[in-house]
């Protein structure tokens, strides 16, 4: 996107027309410095520091978006209770969506009015051996695929955004996450903040370095002449792998859901929003078994 410098009042009006509305979704497991489950919940050792790191990575993305010309920035706290980001430490350029609405999506509140989606602090999909704290939504979700393409939370967020015609332009997390999302969304800008040795070990970069890289990466992603295409495959077939045969059987009682084998079910969806919504229902059902 071309940088525009206003010289006259009419130019200022033109500037307002080219500014952007940007959505930033933040998780915590992919934040630099976070490697233990105890850092990810309010009762754990290291959580207070981890939530500050999460807030600061969000701030880095906000600064990059503001530099690129975003005049409206919305941040979604998308981890756990959705109450991790410290509002009093969040950059004043952004609004914060805290907690969860009925949609319960990691991109809650995103719609067609946004120009770009940014993911910060995301992690690799379930069962990724070299992904820090890798999982998909909840522990009983063993796998998700769209039209045969395995994906995690980042892909599900991109799918939902695609139904709104909003492109995913940037993602940060560990090396497994950035490889995963780059394979799904050609042209997406990524920043690797740590290199995982296993689910519970990683080589970390310096905190200051990664925050600057996130800021610069977001700025570059939003300054491109064109963004990656929104991710909206059609038709959509979702494959969901549950944790037990009983859970898969329970899911198959939903009329549109077909059982494939011991653990896997599948269902069609008209778009990414419908896919995300039914996926949430399956997650909730499986959590009862």
pLDDT at 195: 96
- Cα torsion through 183, 184, 187, 193, rounded to 10: -70
Q: Tell me, yes or no, whether 143 lies in a domain.
A: no
Q: Is residue 201 part of a domain?
A: yes
Q: Would you say 176 and 124 are in contact if contact means Cβ atoms under 8 Å apart?
A: yes
For position 139, what pLDDT does the model report? 81
Structural domains of the chain, count: 2
> Residues 119, 274, 80, CA angle at the centre, nearest 5°?
45
List, for residues 182-233, the tens digit of each pLDDT value. Answer: 999 999 999 999 999 999 999 999 999 999 999 999 999 999 999 999 999 9
Q: Are residues 53 and 106 in the same domain?
A: yes
- Whole-number pLDDT of residue 137: 92
Same domain, 179 and 45: yes
Looking at the structure, tell me whether residues 23 and 161 fall in a common domain. Answer: yes
Same domain, 69 and 99: yes
Asked if 77 and 215 sit in the same domain, the reply is: yes
Do 248 and 161 share a structural domain?
A: no
Whether pLDDT at 4 is above 60: no
Tokens for 143? Answer: 């796998």
- Starting at the edge strand found earlier in the chain, the sheet holding 70-77 runs 94-97, 70-77, 20-26, 116-122, 168-174, 189-198, 201-204
Q: What are the residues whose beta carbons fall under 8 Å from the beta carbon of 173, sequence distance 6 or more?
A: 27, 29, 30, 119, 121, 122, 123, 124, 154, 192, 193
Which residue range is the domain that position 255 belongs to?
A: 236-286
Query: Does residue 205 share a domain with residue 250?
Result: no
* 29 lies in the same domain as 163: yes
Q: Which of 28, 31, 30, 32 lies closest to 42, judged by CA? A: 28
Please tell me the predicted confidence (pLDDT) of residue 17: 53
Question: Do both 40 and 78 map to the same domain?
Answer: yes
* C-alpha closest to that of 36 among 26, 46, 23: 46
Domain CATH for 124: 3.40.50.10780
pLDDT at 204: 96
Query: Do 109 and 163 belong to one domain?
Result: yes
82-121, pLDDT tens digit by residue? 999 999 999 999 999 999 988 888 999 999 999 999 999 9
Percent of the chain predicted with pLDDT > 90 = 90
Instruction: Say if CB 214 and CB 120 are below 8 A apart.
Output: yes
What's the rounded Cα separation, in Å, for the pair 234 and 33? 38
Q: Which of 171, 196, 222 is the last residue of a domain?
A: 222
């Amino acid at each position: 996107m071309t940088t525009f410098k206003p010289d006259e009042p009419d130019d200022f009006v033109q500037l307002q027309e080219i500014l952007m509305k940007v959505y930033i979704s933040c998780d915590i497991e992919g934040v630099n410095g976070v490697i233990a489950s105890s850092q990810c919940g309010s009762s754990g050792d290291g959580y207070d520091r981890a939530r500050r790191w999460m807030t600061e990575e969000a701030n880095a993305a906000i600064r990059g978006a503001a530099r690129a010309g975003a005049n409206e920035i919305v941040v979604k706290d998308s981890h756990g209770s959705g109450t991790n980001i410290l509002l009093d430490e969040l950059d004043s350029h952004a609004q914060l969506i805290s907690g969860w609405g009925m949609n319960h999506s990691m991109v809650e509140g995103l719609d067609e009015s946004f120009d770009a989606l940014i993911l910060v602090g995301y992690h690799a999909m379930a069962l990724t051996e070299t992904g820090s704290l890798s999982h998909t939504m909840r522990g009983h979700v063993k796998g998700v695929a769209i039209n045969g393409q395995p994906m995690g939370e980042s892909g599900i967020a991109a799918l939902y955004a695609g139904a709104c015609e909003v492109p995913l332009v940037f993602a940060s997390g560990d090396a497994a996450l950035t490889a995963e999302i780059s394979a799904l969304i050609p042209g997406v800008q990524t920043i690797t903040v740590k290199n995982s040795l296993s689910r519970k070990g990683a080589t970390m970069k310096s905190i200051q370095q990664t925050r600057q890289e996130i800021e610069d990466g977001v700025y570059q992603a939003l300054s491109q002449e064109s963004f990656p295409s929104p991710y909206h495959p059609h038709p959509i077939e979702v494959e969901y792998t549950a944790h037990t045969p009983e859970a898969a059987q329970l899911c198959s009682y939903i009329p549109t859901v077909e059982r494939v084998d011991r653990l896997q079910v599948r269902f069609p969806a008209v778009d990414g929003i419908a896919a995300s919504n039914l996926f949430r229902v399956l997650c909730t059902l499986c959590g009862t078994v």
